[in-house]
Structure 1
Amino acid sequence: MGPLPRTLELFYDVLSPYSWLGFEVLCRYQHVWNVDLQLRPTLIAGIMKDSGSLSAMRFLTAVHLECPEMLEKVSRELWMRVWSRDEDISESQSILAAAEKAGMPAEQAQRFLEKISSPKVKNQLKETTETACKYGAFGLPVTVAHVDGQSHMLFGSDRMELLAHLLGEKWMGPVPPAPSARL
């Protein structure tokens, strides 16, 4: 019998620059550490009670539900807009522009935008936020490592070295060397 699967859940909101740091590092390490990284868009307002990113996080939830392969790219583009280029992410046109820049067809992005008020999307975002709170979240990002049948909640983007230790892996800084450079 092989080792139990190792899963990392990353609860994040694009209004959190610290979530962005954790997101980028975990996206880089998911294949290095051979973990199943599950991106979990979470409404920081549900934890912190005031953020202004409701539409963006509902949009990401719709993407997660129907087109999860685009979630990483669209999340990254929303972070780029708000934290790198000081652009809006709350207006519909801004969200559509981010999705299109991430490579999502305009008609698909529009379809997802139309779903942000649907009960399915609202309930999923609420459920994900409640799950983060049940793990003990008091801010974002929160990474939950499921290792050897146990769950470990880590708060912050500065806990990657501890996460590596929990996984029994080597921490090689925020940008791990390419696979051929590690040999």
Structure 2
Amino acid sequence: MGRTLVDLFYDVVSPYSWLGFEVLCRYQHIWNIDLRLRPAFLGGIMQATGNKPPALLPKRGEYLLKDMKRMAKYYQVPINTSEDDLQRMLGSSTLGAMRFITAVDMTQPRYVEPLSREFWMRFWSQREDISQPENILAVAKKAGLSSELTQKLLEMISTPAVKNRLRETTEEAMKYGAFGMPAVVAHFNGEPHLFFGSDRIELLGSVIGEKWLGPVPSVPSPKM
């Protein structure tokens, strides 16, 4: 059988996208899949679909903070939560960061995985404002990009080509039915299958005929 193409639409403002990203990056070496990372803009999807941030519903926001802490431990992803996270999400724009990742995807795609991870690390572990150019520079350096290349990429983020690419990717996610992130689309048996959220990777495996080995498949499951 051929390999299953799996698209992951994500935005680095989303902690659940980080969880889904890390799990799929682990499974791309175990399952018979080709993982395609698709940087998109969550703000555009929320506006277009009428979805609302969790912080606008206080009880949901309280649950989300507790849930992120549990999920971070379970998935072994270093999300550092605090009570101001929901307001940070509402008050932070990742448009520049997502355009930067898009520019990298268009020109240096091998850096997309480490770069995206470093943006999440910067925002969700180190609690930095990734909308600032100096933080984008720091993230790029940590991901292995040269200063010269980073400057060229920063110049690209204001070009129509990059803006259009990010918009088109975001619109593509919505065509598949996405209303939030992460949005995972498996192209299987001639049709797209949408899965929403980081906790649907097990279901994804079931649909495409792959065995779920837990969120950290390299670590043996404890015996009962």
- Pairing of 1:118-157 with structure 2 (within 5 A): 118-157=159-198
The structure 2 residue matched to 1:161, chosen from 202, 205, 214, is 202
Alignment map for 1:63-74 (pairs within 5 Å) = 63-74=104-115
**Deviation string for 1:3-35 (max 9, x for gaps)?**
243100000000000000000000000110021
Which of the numbers 118, 121, 128 marks the counterpart of 1:87? 128
Aligned residues: 176
Aligned to 2:76: none
Q: Is the 1:8–1:38 Cα contact (8 Å) retained in structure 2?
A: yes
Give me the whole-angstrom Cα distance separating, in 2, the residues matched to 1:14 and 1:177.
25
| TM-fit CA distance, 1:140 | 0.4
Pair 1:13 & 2:54 matched: no
Query: Structure 1 residue 48: deviation in Å?
Result: 1.5
Superposition deviation, residue 155 in structure 1: 0.4
Counterpart in the other structure of 2:39: 41
**Distance (whole Å) between structure 2 residues aligned to residue 12 and residue 43 of structure 1:** 7
Say if 1:4 and 1:149, in contact at 8 Å, map to a contact too.
no
Quote the sequence identity (%). Answer: 60
User: Which range moves more in the overlay, 96-105 or 47-56?
Assistant: 47-56
Q: Which of residues 167, 172, 176 is equivalent to 2:217?
A: 176
Deviations 1:60-98 (A, max 9, x none): 000000000000000000000000110111011111110
Name the SS for the 1:93 alignment partner: helix
The answer as to whether partners of 1:4 and 1:147 remain within 8 angstroms in 2 is no
**Could you tell me the TM-score, scaled by structure 1's length?**
0.93
Which structure carries more helix by proportion? 2
Q: Displacement of 1:52 after TM fit?
A: 1.1
Query: Residues 136-164 of structure 1: CA distance to partner in whole angstroms, max 9, x if unpaired?
Result: 11100000001121210000000011011
CA contact (8 A) 2:3 2:32 kept: no
CA distance in 1, matches of 2:150, 2:167: 21
CA distance in 2, matches of 1:160, 1:19: 12
Name structure 1 gaps, 5 residues minimum.
179-183
Question: SS of the counterpart of 2:198?
Answer: coil
> 2: CA distance between counterparts of 1:28 and 1:117?
33
Structure 1 Cα separation of the partners of residues 22 and 150 of structure 2: 23
Of structures 1 and 2, the larger Rg is shown by 2
After superposing the two structures, state which structure 1 stretch, 142-151 or 49-58, moved more. 49-58
User: What's the RMSD between the two structures over aligned residues?
Assistant: 1.2
User: Structure 2 regions of 5+ residues with no counterpart?
Assistant: 48-89, 220-224
